[in-house]
Each structure stands twice: as C-alpha cells, then as structure tokens.
Amino acid sequence: TNCTHCGPRFTILRGLPYDRARTTMAPFTLCPECRAEYRNPADRRFHAQPVACPACGPRLWLEPAADPPAQDLIAQDPIAEAAARLVDGEVLAIKGLGGFHLACDATNPGAIAILRQRKRRPAKPLALMAPLAVIRDHADLTPEAEALLQDPAAPILLLAHRGTLPASLAPGQATLGWMLPYTPLHHLLLDAVRRPLVMTSGNLSGEPQVIDNDEARQKLAPFADAFLLHDRAIARRLDDGVERLTARGRMVLRRARGRTPGTLPLPPGLPDRPVAAYGGQLKAAICLTKNHRALLSHHLGDLDDALTLEEFLKADADYARLFDHRPQAIAIDLHPDFRASRHGAERAGALGIPLVRVQHHHAHMAAALGESGWAGGTAVGIILDGLGLGEDGTIWGGEILVGDYREARRVAHLRNAPLPGGDRAQMEPWRNALMRLDQAGLSDLADRLFPDQPRDLLRLAAARGLNASQSASAGRLFDAVAAILGLAPARLSYEGEAAMALETLASRHPEEPGYTFDLDPAPLFHQIAADLPDTPPDLIAARFQNGLAQVFARVARQAATDAGTRTIALSGGCFQNAGLLEATCAALDGYDLCLPGEVPANDGGLAFGQALVALARLESD
C-alpha cells in the first residue's frame, strides 16, 4: 500500500514531525510481524512509518452504488471484481492517493459516452492511465517523455496520440494526457484489466475532488456503478499534476501531486522575509516564502465555487500550521473582488501587516523571471493570457511590460476591444469575433458567420458601454479566430476549448509564414477574411498563431533595445500553447529568455510572482 521513497506522505500527513501517530495510518495498529520489522535496524522497514500488511490494514473492498450497499453484495475479491466490471463497460469510483477518480475502459466508446453523459462533460479531455508498454502503443514517446512519465511525481503528461483510441477521449485534440500507475492499487487493477483506463477527477463540476468515502457515496453515486474503496483517510486532497514537454523543456500546467510541497529558491538579491501570497480567482494557489525558499502550493481550483473557496481557506491554514509560517506581509492581485484578494486583505488587516497589491501581468512576469533565477536589472515581459485587471481599470491580457521585480510599466498592448456580456464572452467565442470583425470594418462577414446570434443587441450594448469592458486579451483574440474558423461551439463546455482546438490545427504547420499585422489586429482579420473561401482552416490557424508570435517578438525586441536589456520573460496562460511558445522563442533567438517551467504559466503561478514583487517592495521600502 505504500513505499517510504515513493509515498504516500503529504496526503496522509496530519502534522510534523512525520511519524505514524501523526498520519492517517495511526488507526492501524501494527501486527507483531510488522512491529518486529519496524523495530529492527537491519530490516528495510525499520522506522518505515506507513508500514502495513493485510493483518494491520488498511482494507480494500468493492461495493455497488446502492444506498446503503447490501453487505452480501460487497465483493470478496475486489480487484478481480472491479476489473470485470470495467471490462463490461461500467464506470467505477476509485479511492486513490489524494482523492477519488472516475474510471472506465478507455478502449470502449460506449463506456466513455456513459461517463461523459453522467458527468455532463461533453468534450473536455479525459486523463488516461496505463503501464508504459501500453502507452507506447498509443502515443509518440521520446526518451525524454518516457523519463518524465517514470518520474516519481508520476504526472499526467500530454503526448501526441496515434488515433488508435476513441476520438471521444479528447475531441479535436492532437494530444492525450497519460500517466503511469502510481499506487499498488493502480498496478494491480491495470494488471487485471489489461487495457488503458480513463482516470478522471471524481467530483461534481467545479467542485473539489471528493476524498471521503461517505461523501463519495453521496456525490458520486449518480456517476458510478460501483465504488472501489479503502479505509485509510486522506488528510488533504491532491489532484494529479499535469505537464507537457516543449522544444524548450518541461512545462508544468497544473502543479499538484508529486511536485508539492516542494520549494523553489528565491532569486538573488531579494530579502529573506516571510510573505504569503494568494494568487488569483482561477487556478488558485498559495505561495509562502521562508528561509530563502518559496513554497508554491498544490492546485486549489477556481474560487468561483463556494466549496473550492472553503478548501482554499483550509489549505491556507494548513500550510501555515505545517510549515510554521508567520507572514510579515501579504500579497494579492489588484482585482478587489477576487475572493483570494478579499481573504488576503482581511488577513493582513487582522494581523496588522503590510498588504501589497500586485498587478496581474506584473506577477506573471515576476514569476518567469524568478524561476529563471534572474538577479535583477531591467527586463521585458511578453504576457499573454485571458484576462487580468490593469492599472487603468481595463482588462489586460496582450501585454509588453518593462520593469523588474518591484515595478513594471506597460509599454505596448493589443488594441482594446469590448467584451460584450462580461464573463459570458469568455465562454461564447462568437462574441469576441463579432467585436473584432466589427472593429475591422467586417460587420457583413460577422453577420454571415453568426446569423442566429443576437448581434444587434450586443452591438448596441458595446456602443453604450453596457457590460462590455474594454479588453486587450490575447486569449480572447484566440477565441475570436477560433469562432471565425468554426472551431468553437456557440457556448464552450470548458475553459480554453476554442484556443486548444486552434492550437491543434496550427500544430500541423509549425513553419507556415504568419499573417502580417501589428498590435491593432484589424489587418489580421482582413487577411483571414480573404483566405476563408479557399484556404484550409489549419493553414489559417497556423498563419494567425505564427503571426501573433512575430508581432509580440518584434515589439519586445524594440522594447528591449529601448530599455537597454537582453532579458525577455514569457508568461501567461496562452504560453501553455507549445506552438505559440516555440514560435515566439524562435523569433527572439539571441535574447536571454526566462520561460515558465516548474511554475505554471497560467494563474497557478501568480502567487509565486506576487510573493517576489512583495519581497522586492519590502526591500526597497
């Protein structure tokens, strides 16, 4: 059930120091044989805190999704019965290391359809688990990818697929997310089923992953036909980490199991003071600095959900207690209505310590600089993402910044366009396309492309400034182009769906010359309009993506010349797109590039950047 090298540790730990009495293994009294091994200095299990056996426990069982389950229906051989049910096309809720998974046969289109229908997840890619030999049959594996799959962190790794599995696993995507089995239970189950399994998060949409047996019976019963359970409690929920390999190295997309609570060194020149930083509203994470290190927490989710906010607050208290952290300052996002910002402001007030407000894109830039160990001076930042409140009250997201850890100024940005409907524009890409086409004088094209949408109503609202904030978002520009190419439904089923579809098409032509335009994208849309009748969408997607990389690289080079620097940082969620990242880096050849790697380029890395900005300001003050 465990290994003293591999784990579990963080998910069973209740307090420090790490010994059995302070873990969720405490209820399982050691049998005489295990106790003898535990006390014998010559035994490999000497002082192995989570040592266990069938006599000691924990216990594994499988029960049907009845309420309550009839005792005589509980399987006598849970692994064999679970495997048989999976092969028969059932969906199982499986208690793992840091939470529950919903599992089904990844080779069975019917089982995948049932899981998607029950979970109301029509298109979002599903994570897969299989032994390495099986992954080799379905994915393009390099030696670097094999090594990363076998890393002790056992992340979900995005890999190009060969089309050998049902397309419904990741509709419209060129990659699938694979992970190796990382617990003995996973190994036994996969050995029994002899096929890859879908292993997706066991939760209600938007809520944290379920970790408790009774909670699973209540919340996951509508999804699962049976539960594979054990009686060891999970001390803290921990999602599977998600990573990818780019031409520039490893990139963490979701920092979670296996990477936390690992720490990062603070860059040279910053003071060693305890600071707490609280990130943003989405992909929330907490960062604590202490002893010249930064501890960036595991992924905590989107704080729009009340239960996720509750989990965020618990994690804040948990990390502070575990690591004896007493902040001397607190850093938050500039947006006053972010729940993380409110919490940070309240805590700073209660403790009577300084509150440092950090502009969203400055935090992204600082995170990329800090991870690279940048020692200071002046740097340029190319920050491309979905949104972040700017210092002028508009929505930023296509930015060229110049500055350092302490301060950054905006020197250039994408031309603003309205975001009609506010948050709805993030999930309905046609709204962004309508505004950009109108702005380019292509209203007739917008009318032809979106005949069934309330175009005139949105145009009126935008003209009057009603619920239509001005935005320079690169993420929304991706959405607009995806909508024009017909890659996006009227309403997205998950965040980033349109941009990911565009990335997939563009990846077929990495060397395609880009469209020629500047930070006003109106000429871009005229070129797209000219190409639409007789040019394949994948070529248009590549020309847009590569052209965008050229635009920002060109402006950044000039900004670097003006500032007298050779250092350029790239960050923001758009740079999770490997093609955009590589095209931008290639156009910046010869510069000292600071790129996201261990720290997510998305908002999961914001807290790290905020903490560095706070430290720099405390030092200068």
Torsion angles phi and psi, residue 134, rounded to 5: -75, -40
Write out pLDDT tens, residues 308-330: 999 999 999 999 999 999 999 99
Q: Which pLDDT belongs to residue 343?
A: 99
Residue 71 has pLDDT above 60, yes or no: no
φ, ψ dihedrals at 68, nearest 5°:
-80, 160
Please give the DSSP secondary-structure letter assigned to residue 465.
Answer: T
pLDDT at 73 over 70: no
Please give the residue that has the higher pLDDT: either 16 or 400: 400
Report the distance separating Cα 131 and Cα 154, nearest Å.
Answer: 12
With 0-12 / 13-18 / 19 or more C-beta atoms within 10 angstroms meaning exposed / middle / buried, residue 470 is middle
Instruction: Give residue 434's pLDDT.
Output: 98
Distance CA 449, CA 430 (A): 9
Please say if the pLDDT value at position 423 is more than 90.
no
Q: What is 377-594's CATH number?
A: 3.30.420.40
CATH 3.30.420.40 residue ranges of the chain are 377-594
Q: Which two tokens stand for residue 433?
A: 């396309």
Q: What is the pLDDT of residues 181-236, one digit of tens each?
A: 999 999 999 999 999 999 999 999 889 999 999 999 999 999 999 999 999 999 99
- pLDDT of the residue at 70: 58
pLDDT confidence band for 593 (50 / 70 / 90): very high
Collapsing DSSP to helix, strand or coil, 413 comes out as strand
Buried b (16+ CB within 10 A) or exposed e, 536-571: ebbebbbbbbbbbbbbbbebbbebbeebebebbbbb
What average pLDDT does the chain have?
96
Nearest-angstrom CA–CA distance, 59 and 5: 22
The span from the CA of 243 to the CA of 158, in Å, is: 7
CA 396 to CA 391: how far, in whole Å? 9
Helices and strands (H, E) in the chain, number of each type? 20, 23
Give residue-wise pLDDT tens across range 259-307. Answer: 999 999 999 999 999 999 999 999 999 999 999 999 999 999 999 999 9
Range(s) for CATH 3.90.870.30 in the chain? 60-230
d(Cα 301, Cα 187) in Å, to the nearest integer? 28
pLDDT of residue 621: 75
Angle in degrees, 0-180, between the axes of helices 429-439 and 474-484, rounded to the nearest 10: 90
Q: Where in the chain is the domain with CATH 3.30.420.360?
A: 255-362+604-620
- Domain covering 60-230, topology: DHBP synthase (3.90.870)
Task: Average the pLDDT over 138-164 and give the result.
Answer: 97
The pLDDT score that the predictor gives to residue 75 is 62
Provide the pairing of β-strand 329-333 with 275-277: parallel
The pLDDT value recorded for residue 459 is: 96
pLDDT at 4 over 90: no
pTM for this one?
A: 0.97
pLDDT at position 30 is 95
Tell me which CATH code domain 255-362+604-620 carries.
3.30.420.360
